[in-house]
Amino acid sequence: MTLQTNRLFQKQLMVALLAASAAYGLTGQAFAQAVKISSPDGQVSATVSPDAASTTFQVTYKGKTVISPSTLGITVDGQNLATGAAFGTAATRTFRETYPTRGVHPVATNSFNEAVVPVTSGAGKTPWQLELRAFNDGFAYRYRVPLQGTHQINTESSQWKLPANSVLWYQINTNEYETAFREMVANRVASGQTIGAPVTAKLADGLGYALITEANLVDYSDMALGTGEAGTFNAVFNKNPQGWSNEGDIVSPWRVTMVVPDLNGLVNSDLITNLCPPPPPELANAAWIKPGRSNWHWLVTYGPRLEQQRQWVDWTQQLGFEYYLIDDGWVNWRADGKDQWQLMKEIVDYGKTKNVAIWAWVHSKEIRTHADRESYFQKAKAAGIVGLKMDFPERPDVNWVNWYDETLRDMAKYQLMANFHGAVKPSGRERTWPHELTRESIFGRESGKLPAMHDTALPFTRYIQGPADFTPTDFRLNKLNGSSWAHELAQAVVYTSPFYCYGGDPADYLANAAVDIVKALPATWDETIVLPGSEVGRTAAFARRKGNEWFIGVVNGSESKPFTVNLGFLGAGRFSMDKLADKADNNGAWDRTKASVTNKSSFTVQLRGDGGFVGRIQPIG
């Protein structure tokens, strides 16, 4: 479906629903008091209830409350449309599809029950629609307001009330999303804070996990969360605190409550991309969009020295990586009467002789407008660059939120892949624009060694939102700062990014006894399993498959502990397993062993604080 066709479909849906709203308004008997919707498996249920003061929703999972009655609503031109709301009869449907994805697994399943509720509200009886979707792993809703002309979106009254005894993980940067995650019981979170989505919650009594966030952020200001009393979170728009103008129909992002039984369900959820449109036909399965691994010089040399670039390409070839990223500073290259573009093309051409493609860094100010982008992307394409790392966008108000989509649309024309840095959180739009392979919006390795609690929380918090460019795996002894080689390498197994940009020195990788593992690790996976014993903020243990090989990565927190891995996920037959554990007395060394294993095998490894473990499992015969 093209963008134009998609918009036409949305407009037709708006008109049909508006007509339905008007029809229902003819008789008070047509209005329902509440709407209940359940997931296809019946485990997730949501009830939306209108009354004179407010409209609320609540979510249950396996019959137990996950979100207690919480307000929803959107304020347009000073009127909260959920106040005094009356519901018409909902239009319902059941939907199921699969579509290609990448990173955690190659195919996503999108299965939900939907109710589209016609609503009238306020003194003017403004008609609008509330779209509800229930999935086996959560519930989402959004607002549709059919309008013409320019109107002011003031704010929302969207709210989530989590159980007060939930354990939460969140971070507080709402511009670039670059602070460490912290842990707090819900009833101890101070009121009056503004924090970033997502928020992950461990529910009491072994019920599972919840996560609150938004999906399909476009034509709207980025949503942060304001903290209230005892586990209450309110949607706030601190990048547009006075609201923002909107032309034509208003369609909000989805307000999302994910709920799953365990961490494996959390990591394997496709809920956020399920709520986004499919790509235009020309981008579906486009051959030029290629995930891969990359070297990157910034943490080693900072600015790219022209005379060193061929050496970096050589190192990249020796590691078998697909890409080399040239970061900030190449714009200043000059030599032999040639400018930076001519010199870049020489590096690109050299890379082609080594089967290494080149990505390049650009400041967002150089590609702010459509005209800027057309000029820049033409030059990048002519130089042979295959992807761009775009840095330092401004705070994500509605204009800058739309800049991401506009930039991706323009990049598609020139077949350029994308990596946004200093960026707003992802919201699933990588499904719509599959040439966006990753983005930052994470407190990553470029800031140095980070707290072990943060490292072990990330797979269950930020990475649920979408791929992230953490730039992991630095083996340099003076950069470990308490980390270990096994901790660093395990991040490359556990963290997900289809453009996998390594932050360390490639010469160190090539000289390391684990270079065979570094070379073998892929950028995307065919299967991901979160292993028992994983705990948010304490231990992240994954088994991941590519083809017929399995890799195990264990990123440990601050406390040393024994950790047992059961290999029951393996198929039939015998396998050879390489085990790379920490040396007890040396964080910059390996305790490497080999074993023959089956799916009946298990083993225990002693994890050091801030340590880790990596295993590679290959079939025998």
Lookup: tokens for 318: 């020796």
- Could you tell me if residue 391 is inside a domain? yes
Mean pLDDT for the stretch of residues 485-502: 99
Q: Final residue of a domain: which of 225, 248, 274?
A: 274
Q: Residues 65-92: pLDDT tens digits?
A: 999 999 999 999 999 999 999 999 999 9
Residue 309 pLDDT exceeds 50: yes
455: alpha, beta or left? (left if phi > 0; alpha if psi -120 to 50):
alpha
Is 538 inside any structural domain?
no
- Residues 316, 381 share a domain: yes
Same domain, 210 and 145: yes
DSSP characters over 560-596: -EEEEEE-TTS-SS-EEEEEEEEETTEEEEEEEEEEE
Residue 317 dihedral angles phi and psi, to the nearest 5°? -60, -45
Residue 223 lies in a domain: yes
Q: 615 and 573 in one domain?
A: yes
Same domain, 303 and 170: no
The predicted-structure confidence for 362-410, as pLDDT tens digits, reads as follows: 999 999 999 999 999 999 999 999 999 999 999 999 999 999 999 999 9
Contact 6, 277 (CB under 8 A): yes
Tens of pLDDT along 206-226?
Answer: 999 999 999 999 999 999 999
| 458 φ/ψ angles, rounded to the nearest 5 degrees | -55, -45
14, pLDDT greater than 80: no
359: which residues sit within 8 A by CB, 6+ positions away?
294, 323, 324, 325, 326, 385, 386, 387, 388, 389, 417, 419, 499
Residue 195 lies in a domain: yes
Instruction: Give the Cα separation of 123 and 145 in Å (integer).
Output: 16
Specify whether 355 is located in the same domain as 217. no
Q: Are 310 and 326 in contact (CB under 8 A)?
A: no
Domain count, the chain: 3
How far is Cα 442 from Cα 202, in angstroms, rounded to an integer?
21
Read off the pLDDT of residues 347-367 as tens digits, 9 standing for 90 and up. 999 999 999 999 999 999 999
Of 274, 300, 317, the residue at which a domain comes to its end is: 274
With bands split at pLDDT 50, 70 and 90, how would you rate the model's confidence at 124? low
Model pLDDT, residue 33: 86
Distance CA 444, CA 180 (A): 9
**Residue in 223, 73, 228, 255 with CA at minimum distance from that of residue 162:** 228
Residue 528 lies in a domain: no
| CA separation, residue 481 to residues 292, 374, 445, 611 (Å) | 29, 44, 12, 12
Q: How confident is the model at residue 15 (pLDDT cuts 50, 70, 90)?
A: very low
Same domain? 517 vs 585: no
Structure letter (DSSP) for residue 260: E
In 312-383, at which residue ranges do the beta strands (DSSP E only) sit? Answer: 323-326, 357-363
Whether 184 and 234 share a structural domain: yes
Helix (H) or strand (E) holding 214: strand 209-215
Please report, rounded to a whole number, the percentage of residues in the chain having pLDDT higher than 90.
93
Q: What percent of the chain has pLDDT over 70?
A: 94
Residues 261 and 302 in one domain: no
pLDDT at 13 over 90: no
Domain encompassing residue 443: 292-523
Residue 533 lies in a domain: no
Q: What is the mean pLDDT of residues 337-351?
A: 99
Residue 540 lies in a domain: no
Burial 173-185 (b: 16+ CB within 10 A, else e): ebbbbbbbbbeee
Q: Quick one: which of 375, 602, 358, 554 has its CA closest to 456?
A: 554
CATH of the domain at 339: 3.20.20.70
* Strand segments (E) across 265-386: 292-296, 323-326, 357-363
Question: Do 494 and 592 belong together in one domain?
Answer: no
Closest CA relative to residue 350, chosen from 316, 381, 319: 316
The answer on pLDDT for 7 being more than 70 is: no
**pLDDT, tens only, 17-27:** 333 333 333 23
Same domain, residue pair 158 and 219: yes
Instruction: Please give the pLDDT value at position 621.
Output: 80
Q: What is the mean pLDDT of residues 116-140?
A: 92
Same domain as 369, residue 240: no
Q: SS3 for 309?
A: helix
CATH code (residue 260): 2.70.98.10
Are 66 and 214 within one domain? yes
Average pLDDT for the chain:
95
* CATH number, position 597: 2.60.40.1180
Q: Is residue 461 part of a domain?
A: yes
pLDDT > 80? residue 585: yes
Take residue 350 and report the two structure tokens written for it: 């050299």
* Banded model confidence at residue 32, pLDDT cuts 50, 70, 90: low
